[in-house]
A and B are shown apart, each in its own frame.
Chain A
């Protein structure tokens, strides 16, 4: 059961003093900071960031209830909103006086809904009548208006990673006006309308801030709309509608995620997956918008996996009150006090915890039966390598052994990704060589994601162990290896020789020499020196292997020396010499080497032949049949004389 949980709250969450009558808690999505403001700050403000270093603590005078409090990027300036009219600023720049100053929104009788920092010193006020974009001048203790835009605003959402601000306008509030900010500039993007399930009569605000979230998925910005179930539209349940919000161009409705149930939902985005939490059932489901190829303008998706609860989380007792003996309390999941922030943050103000949500891949193996689909899913995840490899090993053994077609599709999917990476590498290096100066800017080195599973990965984690495994039918082993090789070939990936070795070893181990022979015949096992050597070593068990390996060496055409050595080792001195001559190397081979070999055969005719050959070579090269000192052939000359007599030596004055 334990491996059924595919969602969990990450280790060591951010802890803070939980909200209470005296302690207000605020969360700033931009800096991911939690502000615990005790009695309006008089008794202290504790700011906790994602890591302990970034936590800050200070005091400020209690000037009334704090509505909103945020640091500018880099904790330079603190902005605090206490009234609907103005925002106060406190300078936090090191060795700058710690002075407080305040600024009122310029629009008359507009009330400030909130603000958000777009930079260390740029801030946007959002009022019910529009937005005001300021630059903060801490030294002058004043703000400079950069730009403003008047428009009726019901509420707003700010997406810090893309610094896009989304305003809900019109009476129904379902027309959203996005603005993009970039160092001192503010650009208005094309507005768009969220289609409501029912148009209320008379018109009233009917799109709530809670049902909208903004997040980047697969590096595209999406506006996610949680469309509640309604009796009138006969949809089986609620759904999440994704609007793709491009930097320029119109925003389009592109995806619909079917929830098939009703109730209270919350959204997260983790590892490009849309996570939908369902409170009443205490489960979450995940969607992968890439899992099906986009065929129509709006793609309807079902949950990838069946709904499961988040992995239970235990709160260790800490603090002075905590006695070591007491067991940790199980934290209540999906509690109503939870608030969920994008992309992957869950905060329980009542408990005083901030968690990051995480997707565990291992459980998906058992939850997703279709191996092909599973691969597509895993290949897009961040930490997928080991999981994918375990999928591969799993499908080759045991009762749920996959059929060859399945194995084939899995291999093909892996190798496709692998090939894409290789090509990217290729084009990159080519570009670099062609002229780094010019192209380096345009090409950046392709990142190797975990999804790139190369041959050595397969070899070490899957195939080698698989082939060693007892009780696997060798037919299947070979079939699998051939499938993998087939797949590699299909994607024109050069196969590493250790895979061939694996094939050969398996074949040899089961005495399937004739199969091996055929594979070599069709060059299924492509030629290579290591392979040729392996073949040589097989000669004792399968004599033809010797010739096969020689043929291979010959085809390689870079292995002439090896061929000569092999032949000599087989005492085929003539063959060796004929070969050397055929490749035109006979003028610079060592005479001694051949004479030694000839001598070993104790075949006098052979020795005579070889000796004569080199005498003639000497004559041709040096005009004298004798051997040089350097060639160390004295003993052979002596032997020759002894065998055939002095007069048999070639005369220097040969016509």
Chain B
């Protein structure tokens, strides 16, 4: 019967899509004030993500979050854990596969060897440190933890000194740099950034780093380890996985997704996408909770268990893990992973594979059963066959070959770049960074600007509905409504008038393109 329901749903959506891509109840040119759920890119159904604003749930305590029905299984699985070393093993596996596997390894070594008293070390735009409440070093982005142990000792001292005054240290502001402290018992995270990045942004990134670690160990295990021994050296557990944190940080610096707590989709014509999604769903197996199809960090399709919602934050962590372990490209991988937002207490088991060699297409099959590897492997096979049978492959490959689009298509010459997020679906779209933005530092500078706007819009006590911001290099315009969140970047010669005109033009265009840029019909098993 479930099947019938699904079928109907499938038909109907399919039908409606094939005939009329844009559903009749949607305004053609959305007014800025349109209601959540009808903005361009809004999903036909209930959103596929736990619908949240990252800056809220980042400050919310992770430990509290994620009491989904699935909790039971997790705890069950946890209860079964007579051998709590095991997950560590498997992380270690990832790590090791990594060490021989990767350029990250090389990079890491270079970073690690740096002299922590050198100007070069100080000059880094962002430092991140993780330490235990005992002041023991756990991670440093640059320089070896050993060399930094005394510094980290001071950090811990500062934290606990302020704490002793029944107060909490937040940050230290210097001239052109800031130091931000985040305490997530049993860990303390410290970020040091130069330039314009606000303390809030830095805090967000520290959160990610923390959750990144949780995703490897699970909060429960983390607690337990330190409950055991205060002075435990967590690096033993994490050895080999530091590069995950490194690549996560890089992701945060380049990708607007985490900032907007949204996920980008691979541009794919609606019908093609629906076909792929259908295949993905048909290839399902009982133990599956989520099947994700990713191209890098871009989502191609996601099918989920009807009662579960995947949190974008968990998805970013997954994507980061999948993307940064080159080992998976060689062979199917099988690794336990904690999805802190879903359930920080327990583990999922992820089947990771790159079904189309030479493409970034990555298939992630998540299950709560640790023995399900072969079942899911088979599931992957079925999916590939279905793709062939329903000749969905071609469209997919085309899409993969050009994963982005040019801003010129919008037809606003002054417009340089933009980020559009549909709040109801938690999806965002953003054109390729071309022209002057092809260089890394320009990209990071742009992200920084977006971050500034974001933190102004979502200021905890003085949120703004829109902001126009002129720098020496850019004019930026950002705007939030209940339906969407929009960031536009214009040349330094842009004007407010142009910007306002551009907004409506852009919204029209996105509406026109939405079935290509977004997943309008998310599926469930």
Contact = CB atoms under 8 A, between A and B. Distances in A.
Direct contact, A vs B (beta carbon within 8 Å): yes
Interface in A624-644: 644
B493 interface: yes
A574 B413 CA distance: 18
A574 B492 contact: yes
B435 A644 contact: yes
A609 interface: yes
Interface in B412-456: 413-414, 434-436, 438, 442
Contacts of B414: 616
A574 B471 CA distance: 11
Contacts of A650: 413
A612 B492 contact: no
Contact of A577 (B413, B436, B442, B493): B493
Contact of B434 (A613, A616, A648): A648
B434 A609 contact: no
A615 B491 CA distance: 13
Given A574-B493, A613-B493, A605 B436 contact: yes
A605 B490 CA distance: 12
A85 to B, nearest CB: 108
Interface in B473-497: 473, 491-493
A29 to B, nearest CB: 87
B408 interface: yes
B472 interface: yes
B195 interface: no
B286 interface: no
A340 B492 CA distance: 90
Contacts of A615: 413
A581 to B, nearest CB: 7
A562 B436 CA distance: 31
B492 A609 contact: yes
Nearest to A573: B492
B491 A613 contact: yes
A651 interface: yes
A606 B491 CA distance: 9
A608 B493 contact: no
B411 interface: yes
Nearest to B472: A574
A102 interface: no
A654 B493 contact: no
A654 B491 contact: no
A619 B413 contact: yes
Nearest to B412: A655
Interface residues of B, number: 14
Contact of A609 (B411, B413, B438, B493): B493
Interface string A598-619: 0000001110110011011001
A448 interface: no
Contacts of B493: 574, 577-578, 581, 609, 613
Interface in A507-548: none
A655 B435 contact: no
Nearest to A655: B411
B491 A609 contact: yes
Q: Determine chain B's interface SS by DSSP, over half rule.
A: loop
Contact of B411 (A606, A616, A648, A654): A654
Interface string B31-53: 00000000000000000000000
Contact of A604 (B408, B434, B436, B472): B436
Contacts of B413: 612, 615-616, 619, 650, 654
Contacts of B434: 644, 647-648
B408 A608 contact: no
Contacts of B435: 608, 644, 648
Given A616-B414, A650-B413, A644 B492 contact: no
Interface in A458-476: none
A295 B491 CA distance: 77
A608 B442 CA distance: 13
A336 to B, nearest CB: 96
Interface string B303-347: 000000000000000000000000000000000000000000000
A654 B407 CA distance: 12
A642 to B, nearest CB: 13
Nearest to A625: B413
Contacts of A578: 493
A466 to B, nearest CB: 47
A655 B411 CA distance: 6
A647 B436 CA distance: 12
A579 to B, nearest CB: 11
A605 B442 contact: yes
Contacts of B491: 608-609, 612-613
B403 to A, nearest CB: 17
A651 B411 CA distance: 11
A582 to B, nearest CB: 10
A591 to B, nearest CB: 13
Contacts of A648: 434-435
A447 B472 CA distance: 61
Interface in A163-201: none
Contacts of A647: 434
B440 to A, nearest CB: 13
Contacts of A604: 436
A608 B436 contact: yes
A650 B438 CA distance: 17
Chain B CB count within 10 A is highest, among A609, A613, A644, A648, for: A609
Contacts of B472: 574
B441 to A, nearest CB: 10
B492 to A, nearest CB: 5
A340 to B, nearest CB: 87
Chain A CB count within 10 A is highest, among B411, B435, B438, B442, for: B435
Nearest to B410: A655
Given A578-B493, A605-B473, A651 B408 contact: yes
Contacts of B438: 644
B220 to A, nearest CB: 48
A581 B498 CA distance: 14
A559 to B, nearest CB: 22
Interface in A212-229: none
A587 to B, nearest CB: 14
Chain A CB count within 10 A is highest, among B408, B434, B491, for: B491
B4 to A, nearest CB: 46
Interface string B354-395: 000000000000000000000000000000000000000000
B484 to A, nearest CB: 23
Nearest to A577: B493
Contacts of B492: 574, 606, 609
A654 B409 CA distance: 9
B436 A644 contact: yes
Contacts of A651: 408
A568 to B, nearest CB: 15
Nearest to A644: B435
A508 to B, nearest CB: 31
A574 B492 CA distance: 7
Contacts of B436: 604-605, 608, 644
A278 to B, nearest CB: 86
Nearest to B439: A604
B417 to A, nearest CB: 12
A651 B438 CA distance: 19
A307 B111 CA distance: 103
Nearest to A615: B413
7 contacts: A578-B493, A605-B442, A606-B492, A609-B492, A612-B413, A644-B436, A648-B434
Given A613-B493, A616-B414, A654-B408, 12 more contacts: A574-B492, A606-B473, A606-B492, A608-B435, A609-B473, A609-B491, A609-B493, A612-B491, A615-B413, A644-B435, A650-B413, A654-B413
Interface of A: 574, 577-578, 581, 604-606, 608-609, 612-613, 615-616, 619, 644, 647-648, 650-651, 654-655
Interface of B: 408, 411, 413-414, 434-436, 438, 442, 472-473, 491-493
Which are the 6 A-B pairs with shortest beta-carbon distances?
Answer: A655-B411, A608-B436, A609-B491, A605-B436, A644-B435, A648-B435
